[in-house]
Amino acid sequence: MTAEDEVYSRKKQSEQAEAEANMEKGAIDRIKSSISDLHTKITTLEPPSIKLSPETFGLPPHFMDWVDKIRAEVSFAPGSVSDEIWQESKDPVRNPEIEVDARVWIGNEFCQEELEFQKRRRKFTKRGLAKYLGVKESEIDERDIPTIAVAGSGGGYRAMLGTTGYFKAMKQAGLFDCVTYMAGTSSSR
């Protein structure tokens, strides 16, 4: 290869490299321009004007006001129902059992305190059962009084409110006074 051919070859390679660089620069410029155009179009778009209201879903007009009131009452804010319940639960005058040490009975028989409780409770439930059945107390033999227990379970306000509703209905029907035991787990109590 002559010197002249070598110069020509280098010039050709340089021109080709420059053309490739220009092509890449042009592609990048086109992408930047497209992105810029897209950005301009996006910023001029207006969101759709969809109006959602409680009525859209068939709810009463002041539904959200009710929801806000319920949220305020269960928020534990000072003066809320939740706060009031919490404060009352720590009051030893209303709840003297909180000052008594609890102990676990281990055995196959009921402890003496439980037997005494059942005896006292049977007199109360006998009165409630007679009233519920519409008979005289004297017509009910204590041995025939069933031991009724009510249990609630759940994990939130829905469970708590549901259990409270059941208790209220039982009280209105006269069944609540027939109950010997109540138990609850989580927030249903």
* Per-residue pLDDT tens listing for the chain (189 residues): 677 777 777 777 878 877 777 777 777 777 877 777 777 777 777 777 777 777 778 888 888 888 888 888 888 888 888 888 888 988 999 989 889 888 887 888 988 889 999 999 999 999 999 999 999 999 999 888 999 999 888 777 788 888 888 899 999 999 999 999 998 887 545
C-alpha pair distances (Å), 165 with each of 50, 69, 129, 169, 170: 38, 19, 21, 6, 9
- Alpha-carbon distance of 148 to 176, in angstroms, equals 10
Give the pair of three-digit tokens for residue 172: 């209105």
Question: pTM for this structure?
Answer: 0.44
Computed on alpha carbons and rounded to an integer, the radius of gyration of the chain in Å comes to 40
The phi and psi torsions of 140 (rounded to 5 degrees) equal: -105, 125
Task: Single out the residue of 89, 87, 68 nearest to residue 78, CA to CA.
Answer: 87
Extents of the domains making up the chain: 60-99, 111-189
Task: Single out the residue of 81, 79, 54 nearest to residue 70, CA to CA.
Answer: 81
